[in-house]
Amino acid sequence: MLNQFNALTARLNTLQNQVSTGLSVQAPSDNPGAMEDTLNDLSQQAAQTQYSANITTLQTRATSVSNVMQSLQTLTSRAGEIATLAGSPTASPADLTNYAGEVQQLIQQAAQLMNTKDPASGQHLFGGTASTQAPYKTVTDASGNITGVTYQGNSSVNQVPIAPGTTVSVDVPGENTGTTGARGLITDSTSGADLFNHLFALQNDLTSGNTSAITNTDSVNLQKDENNQLYQISNNGTVQTHLNNAATFAANQSSSLTQMISNSSSADMVQTMVQLTQAQTAYQAALQSSAKIMQMSILNYLP
């Protein structure tokens, strides 16, 4: 009788707990197979949560990189326009001097853009993996004009996981003088881009009035810079599309895992309530039976 009461009490406690929590599996002993599935799903969900966080961070960073690229492309386009105007036969020496002053301003703006920081992390965007210091160091004369620019970063970029076996980088180094790796935004040996040096050359030719060099050399070089920047902008757009798709997939995957966890561990409330009613009925019947048994003695059976 005591064994039966203990079994019924344990059964009642289990069912009441399932009703109150909505969970059918809370310990390995409840259902070892279901518990294993639940733990695996929980592990995948934790990893998926981290992937989603990585994607969000990369999306913010990619937007910041894109904004700088757009501004830099506008700046380079203006330098090309100046080279075209300065090469015109109608350009006067005063015009060339004014153009030279504007190119100096473009150099200053470009240096500021390339030292932009990621607003989320505070890291510099265009120094490669050397992101804790400004990637470009400028040298100025007594008038505050920039006379030289030195790159202090590297050509490496961070790869961030966004799904199992999939990594993405939204970073672009300012300079890559090698033949492999990510293309440099300012200086890139494969495309012939070298914006700062090309701007300095244009400024010097404007100051000296060398319109032949402006037309035959500076304009050609600036076109290489602009082509490289257009490539970078296009590539950034492709990466952002990839991240948007990955974010959608991650959200769907997280929802699917949540449902799988619920299916593995959640109780069927209708069935659980029926079982609880049955267990309560059995418990009451056991109490009534035991009460009758306890009232009887051996004297009931003596003649």
- Examine residue 119 and state whether it is found in any structural domain, yes or no: yes
Q: Are strands 175-176 and 187-188 parallel, antiparallel or unpaired?
A: parallel
Amino acid at 35: M
Regarding predicted confidence, which is higher, 128 or 279?
Answer: 128
Please report which helix (H) or strand (E) contains residue 162, including its range.
Answer: strand 160-163
More confident residue, 166 or 266: 166
Mean pLDDT of 37-43: 64
Identify the CATH number of the domain in which residue 134 sits. 1.20.1330.10
- Is the residue at 90 inside a domain? yes
In a domain, 39, yes or no: no
Tens digit of each residue's pLDDT (9 = 90 or more) over 54-91: 999 999 999 999 999 999 999 999 999 999 999 998 99
> Model confidence at 45, in pLDDT bands (50, 70, 90)?
confident
Query: 48 falls in which pLDDT band (50, 70, 90)?
Result: confident
171 domain-assigned: yes
Q: Tell me which of 44 and 127 has the higher pLDDT.
A: 127
Q: Which domain holds residue 207?
A: 48-258
**Which residues are registered as beta bridge partners of 194?**
187
What are 236-260's pLDDT values in tens digits? Answer: 999 999 999 999 988 887 777 666 6
- Euclidean distance between CA atoms 154 and 148, whole angstroms: 18
Whether 37 is in a domain gets the answer no
18 occurs within a structural domain: no
Domain annotation covers residue 221: yes
Overall average pLDDT of the 271-286 stretch: 62
| Higher pLDDT among residues 48 and 272, named by residue | 48
Residue 11 lies inside a defined structural domain of this protein: no
pLDDT of 265 over the 80 cut: no
61 DSSP β-pair partners: none
Mean pLDDT value across residues 275-297 = 63
Domain count, the chain: 1
Looking at the chain, how many residues does it have? Answer: 303
Cα dist from 75 to 152, 195, 199, 223, 280, whole Å: 22, 10, 11, 12, 80
Using an 8 Å Cβ cutoff, are 99 and 85 in contact? yes
